[in-house]
């Protein structure tokens, strides 16, 4: 772009805008612009659908898996305490019923 | 995490001894009642999710007699005209109940603040004949209904006759065909909408799994499978298909029964995921948490409750 400007400075003012207009109206530039627009649109849609999928996966994981992990942890802790008590007292641990 | 792995070695030993025994066709076990053919699957897949706050208190006055008080506050859904929007109206009510439990007689009654009365009776008329009755009375005219069931338990079969008001007559029969397979059928005739229907059910169970299927002339086909992975864990899956209205729903769920809690979770093909957690805080005190998310309709329901006694 800088080279074009220097080159354009050497020519007359009318010819300068003519060349720039010809370049910007040419086939390649307009195709490039269309592809760039499409790419932006596709990436926006991709971002939105990834966001939606992440939300669905995240909330489903939160509802189905997190309470399960918490409860299984507590069960493991309880088992550990029972094991410790059994090894300490030499007898099966008493259930607090 | 060790509960997730099944005890493979013992299962193989049990299977070998069972195959060696010859099947004694004159000594088959009694099958489960026809209404409970899908019992194990519905324990994990049809958990009672609720929305709002729930408090249940039951007190035993006697060895056989007990009273219960229950308070429920929360939004309830009202059927709306358009299927997209759901209308929820906050509702609160109190329910008083009395129960009488005897080895031969069971009476349960419940009264709600909006005037509804629900009564259940189960009496052992003889060793093999059981009478069950269920009545719901409301203040609105023509909305009360009652149903009487006579169950006969034979050596390897069960038969049931059902009579309801509004001229409802039904009969079911289920028979054990092998020690593991039982087949049954039902027939009913409803007087008010002048409909009659037929249905068949089959149930195959082993120590580790239960598979059952049911077809009805209303167009419903239900198939489910439950696998017991260990003493504490079982997984269930369910497939419902209606061949008139072409509705299909498949769901997968789990049921973890731990020492101090019980968790049931389920995912649906309608985009609904729900979970119910019951935790024992101390003797007789249970804490309930329920969650249900409907991703398609964007409907979120959460509830918590306490059960005492």
Q: Do B258 and A72 touch (CB under 8 A)?
A: yes
Q: How is residue B140 annotated by DSSP?
A: S
How many CB atoms sit inside 10 A of residue B249's CB? 14
pLDDT band of A40, cuts 50, 70, 90: very high
pLDDT at A93: 53
Is the pLDDT reported for residue B10 higher than 50?
Answer: no
Give the total residue count for chain A.
97
User: Quick one: pLDDT at residue A95?
Assistant: 54
CA distance B68 to B307: 11
Q: Do A71 and B256 touch (CB under 8 A)?
A: yes
Q: Does B233 touch chain A (CB under 8 A)?
A: no
What mean pLDDT comes out for the span B69-89?
84
pLDDT at B25 over 80: no
Can you tell me the distance from the alpha carbon of A93 to that of B9, in angstroms, rounded to the nearest whole number? 28
Task: Name the closest residue on chain A to residue B259, using Cα atoms.
Answer: A75
Instruction: Give contacts of A78 with chain B, Cβ < 8 Å.
Output: 259-260
- Answer whether B298 touches A (CB < 8 Å): no
Residues of chain A in contact with residue B274, where contact means CB-CB under 8 angstroms, are 63
Structure confidence at residue B140 (pLDDT): 83
Q: What percent of chain A has pLDDT over 90?
A: 58
* Record: contact A64-B265, CB cut-off 8 A: yes
How wide is the angle at C-alpha B96 spanned by C-alphas B90 and B99, nearest 5°? 140
- B1, B260, B275 ranked by CB distance to A67: nearest: B275
Q: Provide mean pLDDT across the span B145-172.
A: 91
Q: Hey, of B47, B255, B265, which one would you mutate to test binding to chain A, going by the most A CBs within 10 A of its CB?
A: B265
Q: Give B21's pLDDT tier (boundaries 50, 70, 90).
A: low
**Exposed e or buried b per residue across B30-39, where buried means at least 16 C-beta atoms within 10 angstroms of its C-beta:** ebbbbeebbe
Distance between CA B106 and CA B88 in Å, rounded? 36
Give the closest-approach CA distance of A38 to chain B in angstroms: 29
* CA-derived radius of gyration, chain B: 22
Q: What's the mean pLDDT in A17-27?
A: 82
**pLDDT band of A91, cuts 50, 70, 90:** low
C-alpha span between A65 and A57 (Å, rounded): 11
pLDDT (tens digit per residue) in B85-135: 778 889 999 999 999 999 999 999 999 998 899 999 999 998 899 999 999
Task: Output the DSSP codes for B199-238.
Answer: EEEEEEE-SSEEEEEEEETTSEEEEEEEEE-SSSEEEEEE
- pLDDT at B8 (0 to 100): 45
Q: How does strand B195-205 pair with strand B181-190?
A: antiparallel
Nearest to B233 by CA among A61, A75, A96, A92: A75
Interchain pair B260, A75: CB under 8 A: yes
Beta carbon pairs, A and B, within 8 Å: 46
Look-up of token digits 């906050």: B90
Q: How many CB atoms sit inside 10 A of residue A89's CB?
A: 10
Which residues in A lie closer than 8 A to residue B256 (C-beta atoms)? 68, 71-72
Q: Which structure tokens are listed for B15?
A: 């299977």
Mean of all residue pLDDT scores within chain B: 88
CB-closest option in B258, B291, B295 to A56: B295
Using a CB-CB distance cutoff of 8 angstroms, which residues of chain B are in contact with residue A59?
293, 295
ipTM of the complex: 0.77
Supply the pLDDT for residue B267.
95
- For B16, the 3-state DSSP assignment is helix
Distance between CA B91 and CA B110 in Å, rounded?
A: 18
Q: Tell whether B286 is within 8 A of chain A (Cβ).
A: no
Residues near A97 by beta carbon (within 8 Å), at least 6 away in sequence: B283
Residue B6 pLDDT exceeds 80: no
Q: Above pLDDT 70, what percent of chain B?
A: 93
- The per-residue pLDDT for range B252-276, each reduced to its tens digit, is 999 999 998 999 999 999 999 999 9
Shortest CA distance to B198 belongs to which of B207, B210, B186? Answer: B186
Whether the per-residue pLDDT at B47 is higher than 60: the answer is yes
Distance CA(B258)–CA(B233), nearest Å, equals 8
pLDDT at residue A13, as a whole number: 58
Residue B287 has which token pair? 């804490």
Chain B interface disruption, residue of A75, A80, A95, most B CBs within 10 A? A75
Nearest-neighbour CA in chain B from A55: distance (Å): 10
Average the pLDDT over B17-29 and give the result.
67
B212 pLDDT more than 90: yes
pTM, entire model:
0.78
Write out the H or E segment, with its range, that includes residue B250.
strand B247-257
Structural element, H or E, at residue B283? none
> Which of A3-17, B124-138, B144-158 is predicted with the least confidence, judged by mean pLDDT?
A3-17
Which 3-state string (H, E, C) describes A23-72? Answer: HHHCHHHHHHHHHHHHHHHHHHHHHHHHHHHHHHHHHHHHHHCHHHHHHH
Average pLDDT over residues B184-209: 91
């Amino acid at each position: 772009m800088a080279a074009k400007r220097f080159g354009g400075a050497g020519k007359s003012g009318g010819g300068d805008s003519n060349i720039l207009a010809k370049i910007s109206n040419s086939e390649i530039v307009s195709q490039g612009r269309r592809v760039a627009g499409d790419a932006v649109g596709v990436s926006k849609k991709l971002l939105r659908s990834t966001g939606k999928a992440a939300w669905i996966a995240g909330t489903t994981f939160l509802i189905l898996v997190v309470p399960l992990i918490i409860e299984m942890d507590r069960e493991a802790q309880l088992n550990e305490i029972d094991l410790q008590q059994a090894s300490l007292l030499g007898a099966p641990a008493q259930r607090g019923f | 995490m060790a509960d997730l792995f099944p005890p493979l070695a013992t299962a193989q030993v049990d299977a070998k001894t069972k195959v060696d025994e010859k099947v004694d066709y004159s000594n088959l076990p009694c099958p489960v009642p026809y209404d409970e053919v899908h019992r194990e699957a519905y324990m994990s897949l049809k958990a009672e999710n609720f929305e709002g706050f729930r408090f249940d208190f039951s007190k035993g006055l006697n060895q056989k007699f007990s009273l219960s008080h229950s308070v429920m506050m929360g939004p309830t859904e009202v059927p709306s005209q358009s299927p997209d929007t759901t209308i929820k109206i906050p509702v609160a009510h109190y329910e008083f109940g009395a129960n009488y439990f005897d080895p031969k007689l069971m009476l349960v009654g419940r009264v709600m603040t909006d005037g509804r009365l629900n009564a259940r009776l189960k009496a052992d008329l003889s060793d093999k004949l059981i009478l069950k009755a269920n009545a719901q009375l409301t203040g609105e005219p023509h909305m009360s209904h009652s149903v009487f069931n006579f169950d006969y338990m034979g050596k390897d079969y069960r038969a049931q006759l059902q009579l309801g008001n509004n001229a409802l007559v039904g009969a079911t029969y289920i028979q054990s065909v092998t020690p593991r397979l039982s087949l049954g059928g039902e027939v009913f005739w409803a007087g008010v909408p002048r409909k009659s229907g037929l249905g068949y059910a089959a149930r195959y169970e082993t120590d580790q799994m239960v598979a059952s299927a049911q077809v009805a002339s209303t167009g419903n086909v239900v198939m489910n499978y439950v696998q017991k992975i260990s003493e504490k864990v079982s997984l269930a899956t369910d497939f419902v298909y209606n061949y008139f209205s072409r509705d299909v729903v498949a769901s997968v769920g789990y049921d973890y029964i731990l020492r101090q809690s019980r968790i049931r979770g389920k995912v649906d093909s309608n985009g609904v995921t729900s979970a119910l957690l019951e935790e024992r805080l101390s003797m007789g005190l249970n804490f309930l948490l329920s969650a249900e998310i409907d991703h398609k309709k964007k409907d979120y329901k959460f509830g918590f409750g306490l059960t005492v006694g």
